Chain A
Amino acid sequence: MSNYLGDKSYLALKPQVDAGTPIIPTIHFPLVGENIRVSPNIAADRRMKGLDWKSDDVTKGARSIEGDFTVFGDPSVLGHVLNMIQAKGASTGSAGDGYTHPFTPGEGKHYTLEVPRGIYAERYFGVRGDSVELSFDEGRLLAKLMIKALGVWNGGSLAAALTGAGMTEAVLSTAYEVNPNKGLCVGDVLVIGATEVTLTSVDADGITVGFASTEITASAGDAVYLKAQTPSFGTQLEPFYLPNVRVGFGADETAATTAAGAEATATPLNEISIEIKNNLLSANQTGKRGTGALLNQVMEAQIKVKRLFENPDEWRQWIEGLGKAITIIASGKPINSDFTTRELLTLKFYMTKKIDSPNVLAVGGYVMTEQVIESLYDTATAKSLEITLVNRSAGTVY
């Protein structure tokens, strides 16, 4: 029996053209961690039927597919993370100077993700970002994206036997899935029994897949799985680092951005993390095993900061409910050969107020101010949050 190291896994992703059409993910990124789970909601059948034992069977419920993955917050993968959680505007720029991608609160794109587990790949499609947490671990930016998905293809079985030479199609079992071929794409490599086939069709009947004439002998009920891809990685970029982050506070966005523009005017913070939430609604629908649509609800964001206590003014601002704009600018490596453009992640919170601002004491430590800051809708500018990413990826990859 073979065993498999988690280290050999990876994240493959690609934006879909629409919510319901999976695509083979061809963009590969290294993973820091992953915890995406399919819950068929299987529960013991507790109907009363004269048993002196809890149950004699289990039943399936509405399925949910959700979880998270964590990646280094580098300028390349961040583009896709943000594209899953926010609405991307028109990209500008060039290969020489870098491309600028603006993101604002709105509908993120649906993606197909693939995570291999040993020899087989689990494919999630119709994936959207529910929330993202940007934090620093030992100074390195990590992006932890909580996702929800419309569907998954993580294996199946044959509904009918394949009987030797000249097989050109397989019919998949509906024992679990209503449309068991949903999630597969032309070009996928399926393993049926011990034989590999490359799909040439995924039929509209929801159960049949086609392939070139192949000799396969397999019984009804035999396992079918999606072969893990050979990963291919583009240039590995460094994550954004805490030392290259400047945070500006100001009466409005202009003042905050000006303050963040130089080290002398930026506010030094010891720790900072940001959480942006879409609060996606998983709407179950007829004809679907589980979620039929992932819908944005009201969005929100919080910022947590830790800073050295200097004077009681922060405390006063907290209890008096004074609002401020915050601009966070993380800069990375130069893009242009003359060093005039850089990888850049800019978050502009147009209005914020502090939810909590205790001055924390600890033996042997300085007094620290630990703040939870709520991002608000700014009625003056009719804006809440704007994110801009400058990287080397043309807008066509999103």
Chain B
Amino acid sequence: MRYKNISDQDLTVIGVGIVKAGADVEVAEPINNQNFALVKQPAKPEPKKEKAEDNA
């Protein structure tokens, strides 16, 4: 999941590192901190079904 540092200062998050103000960070565990907002990522497009090859 991806979070954005929405505060106006660079913040050190234990286990993550320094996240610059306004920057995004990818983390494995949720960040429970109001200085960070979850970045909603666009749903991945469904893979297109390939046309059956016309062997005729």
Q: Do A and B bind each other?
A: yes
CB <8 Å contact, B31 and A26: no
Query: Which of A227, A234, A235 has a CB less than 8 Å from the CB of B32?
Result: A227
**Count of A-B contacts judged by CB separation below 8 Å:** 39
CB <8 Å contact, A26 and B12: no
Q: A232-273 interface mask toward B, CB cutoff 8 Å, 1 = contact, 0 = none?
A: 111110000000000000000000000000000000000000
Residues on A with C-beta less than 8 A from B34 are 24, 26, 187
CB <8 Å contact, B10 and A235: yes
CB <8 Å contact, B13 and A231: yes
Q: How far is the CA of A78 from the CA of B40 in the complex (A)?
A: 37
In the complex, which range does the number of interface residues on chain B fall in? Answer: 10 to 19
CB <8 Å contact, A233 and B32: no
Main secondary structure of the interface of A (DSSP, over half): loop
Q: How far is the CA of A361 from the CA of B32 in the complex (A)?
A: 56
Q: How far is the CA of A210 from the CA of B36 in the complex (A)?
A: 22
CB <8 Å contact, A232 and B32: no
With A26-B35, A189-B32 as contacts: A230 and B9 at CB distance below 8 Å: no
Residues on A with C-beta less than 8 A from B14 are 230-231
- B39 at the A interface (CB under 8 A): no
CB <8 Å contact, B31 and A234: no
CB <8 Å contact, B33 and A233: no
Q: How far is the CA of A24 from the CA of B11 in the complex (A)?
A: 17
Q: Which of B19, B30, B35, B36 has the most CB of A within 10 A?
A: B35
Query: Which of B7, B13, B19, B30 has a CB less than 8 Å from the CB of A26?
Result: B7
Question: Mind listing 30 A-B residue pairs with CB under 8 Å?
Answer: A24-B34, A26-B7, A26-B33, A26-B34, A26-B35, A187-B34, A189-B32, A227-B32, A228-B32, A229-B32, A229-B33, A230-B29, A230-B30, A230-B31, A230-B33, A230-B36, A231-B13, A231-B14, A231-B33, A232-B7, A232-B11, A232-B12, A232-B13, A232-B33, A232-B35, A233-B11, A233-B12, A234-B9, A234-B11, A235-B10
Chain A positions within 8 Å of B, measured between CB atoms, are 24, 26, 187, 189, 227-236
